[in-house]
Amino acid sequence: MNGRFIVFEGGEGVGKSTQSRLLAEALRARGIEVVTTREPGGTPGAEAIRALLLASDGQGWGARAEALLFAAARADHVETLIRPALARGAWVVCDRFLDSSRAYQGGGSGLGDADILDLHRIGSEGLMPDVTILLTLDPSEAAARVLRRDAGALDRIGGRAADYHARVAQAFLRFAADDPARFAVIAASGLPEDVHARVLAAVDAA
Ligand code: TYD
């Protein structure tokens, strides 16, 4: 029996990790085995690549090298953690996945969506989430949350200019509009418990 693969997407500070945790707790309370994980990272190999990607020292990566590194991290994550968990019937709740590469490396950095999807086909045999929860939040509220959380210490990608993040947000909304069967777009404003109730309803309806 195959488990379900649920992904949270959205910009910085929208509450993805809090909502991943709350969803996992609710599913576990129903007796479901749930694996929570995140990208970039989730396995030792992918976490090593994460450190390369997000460190704020050094010269940084060109757009193409960056896209390849995200795809490589995802390949290891999919092969060694996500697919085995789904195969044994566990549900996987993941903080970010392919649509982040499509939005940040494709939408934000300007590589084509087709190229990002090709990398995913090669790296991860095109594995797609069953449900993708896109959390949306007013940019100024998201920026205030990030400031509270990280005390102003932004990573290499989080620290990019506001227009970069605006392109990312637009790209996410475009993907959701193009594929409504896979996406649920959920307003992330308000109390975490209220957002969680909306998330759970969307998962149950999918
Ligand atoms: P994450 O740790 O989820 O940051 P946050 O909690 O701020 O959302 O992700 C780290 C950064 O990596 C974030 O700025 C988004 C970026 N990212 C990409 O650019 N491409 C990707 O494929 C993924 C998974 C993340």
Please state, in angstroms and rounded to a whole number, the distance separating the CA atoms of residues 170 and 103: 8
End-to-end CA distance of the chain: 18
Q: How confident is the model at residue 162 (pLDDT cuts 50, 70, 90)?
A: confident
CATH number of the CATH domain containing 63 = 3.40.50.300
Q: Ligand 1 centre and the CA of 157: distance in Å?
A: 7
Mean local confidence (pLDDT), 140-154: 81
Is the Cβ–Cβ distance between 99 and 7 less than 8 Å?
Answer: yes
167 in contact with ligand 1, CB cutoff 6 A: no
Nearest CA-CA partner of 33 in 81, 95, 85? 85
Tell me the whole-structure pTM to 2 decimals. 0.95
pLDDT score of 58: 64
| Domain around 134 | 5-205
Q: How many domains does the chain have?
A: 1
Per residue in 17-26, pLDDT (tens digit) is: 999 999 999 9
Indicate whether 79 pLDDT > 80.
yes
* Bridge partners, residue 9, by sequence: 134
**pLDDT tens-digit series, residues 102-146:** 999 998 787 999 999 999 999 999 999 999 999 999 888 888 888
C-alpha 72 – ligand 1 centre gap (Å): 15
Residue type for position 114: A
Mean pLDDT value across residues 193-206: 97
Q: What percent of the chain has pLDDT over 70?
A: 98
